[in-house]
Amino acid sequence: MILLPRRDFLKTTGLLTGGLLLGTQVGEAFAAPAANGKLRIGVIGCGDRGTGLLKILQELPDKYEVTALCDELPFRLRDAQKIGSASKAKTYADYHALLDSRNVDAVIISVPLNMHFAVAKAALLAGKQVYLEKTMTHNIEQATELVTIAQQRPNQILQVGHQYRYSPLYYRVKEMIDKGYLGKVTQIDCRWDRNGSWRRPVPEPSLERKINWRMYREYSGGLAAELLSHQIDFIHWAFNTYPDEIFGTGGIDYYKDGRETYDNVQVMMRYAREGMVGNFGATCGNARDGYLFKLKGTKGTISLLIDQGIYYPEKETLKQYGTVDGVTGATKITWDKNGGIPITTEPLKDGSWYALNEFYKAVQEKKMPDSNVFTGARVACAVYMANQAIYNHTIEKWRPEFNFS
């Protein structure tokens, strides 16, 4: 890469006024167009994620009208209706009945993972626009079929809930990678840790598997699907890549409570074409690190939280920055106490806010969203392969047919 003089480097890269301003301010590239009418939306699955998205919809009253709610558990429907955006929504116990409604243009699907495919397929065949929570499907066969169905219905949107693709922070990080801030990236370290059982309270024993579906392999992809899939997807997107080989291990190492999905996992993915190794770990037994995401290159490191990011130049890269002399009128770079530069200084919204804005825009403009059926299928394959490696102690190999497009 050609090294610019210090002043030109600062101006070109936007490393002034305390942030890495790579051409756009927060929100500019993500603003939805003026509404030509609200999108009438139904929410299928009113557990933690479904109700969380209902709260986000309250912040977008000019774009969405919640007209329908669906859940098999009556108490969840009652709780969902207490959220202002859903107070007037019609309730359903059967998602097929909701999909038959002419008062629903689009659906959010936030059901257990094993149901994603069936509900999404039915929604597409019913003519609805679809926002499908991650991970897109439970297995590779379902991902393949859902791609085929979506391709046959080009006037409908299927957006997958990998919301980092819409976060101004993560979008900016992708630009930094593209522009060479990190140099040659060789290592990526990802963690999403917690100290807790991940269980939900069950009002009666017969509801155990419905409520705590994440604990059972019949319904769930475990920690890899529920947490690490976000970081896996970002690497796919930021580097336009996929893993060639996947290794994994794990176990039920603390919570001996009848669960089947592991409470402690580690996955390593080899991206041979890029010369990168990605390490992905999650545990339910320690919360010290929480969420960590580090991209390490020859010119610098990016350290990310969900809504914060710091760029740490390597020693040789620091020579390009020099010292900005306040006497000349130039604004000093804001360095943190550890020698890093904040990537954003503006407060950010929840990633789902940006994703639901994009979903509205995609429907209105009839354009494919960044997180779509093809990208969702590739992540679903990677997650499924990670779980195969974890549970079966195998090395999984990427196959050409997983490169959906």
- Tell me the per-residue pLDDT of 162-200, one tens digit each, with 9 for 90 and over: 999 999 999 999 999 999 999 999 999 999 999 999 999
Residue 5 is given by DSSP the state P
- Tell me the per-residue pLDDT of 319-364, one tens digit each, with 9 for 90 and over: 776 544 332 233 455 667 777 899 988 889 999 999 999 999 999 9
Q: How many CB atoms lie within 10 A of CB 392?
A: 10
Structural domains of the chain, with CATH = 6-25+168-346+378-402 (3.30.360.10), 28-164 (3.40.50.720)
Rounded Cα distance, 262 and 88, in Å: 40
The closest of 198, 213, 147 to 368, measured between CA atoms, is 147
In order, the DSSP letters of 89-150 are -EEESSHHHHHT-TT-SEEEE-S-GGGHHHHHHHHHHTT-EEEEPSSS-SSHHHHHHHHHHH
Residue 227 is given by DSSP the state I
Rounded Cα distance, 121 and 150, in Å: 9
User: Virtual CA dihedral for 21, 191, 270, 226, nearest 10 degrees?
Assistant: -100
Q: What tokens does 100 get?
A: 């038959």
pLDDT by position in tens, the chain (length 405): 333 333 343 344 444 334 443 333 333 333 333 344 899 999 999 999 999 999 999 999 999 999 999 999 999 999 999 999 899 999 999 999 999 999 999 999 999 999 999 999 999 999 999 999 999 999 999 999 999 999 999 999 999 999 999 999 999 999 999 999 999 999 999 999 999 999 999 999 999 999 999 999 999 999 999 999 999 999 999 999 999 999 999 999 999 999 999 999 999 999 999 999 999 999 999 999 999 999 999 999 999 998 899 999 998 888 776 544 332 233 455 667 777 899 988 889 999 999 999 999 999 999 999 999 999 999 999 999 999 999 999 999 999 999 998
| DSSP reduced 3-state for 249 | strand
Asked if the peptide bond before residue 261 counts as cis, ω within 30 degrees of 0, the response is no
Phi, psi of 213 (to 5 degrees): -60, -25
- Tell me the per-residue pLDDT of 127-158, one tens digit each, with 9 for 90 and over: 999 999 999 999 999 999 999 999 999 999 99
Q: What pTM value is reported for the model?
A: 0.89
Rounded Cα distance, 386 and 91, in Å: 37
* Identity of residue 310: I
State the residue for tokens 């336009």.
240
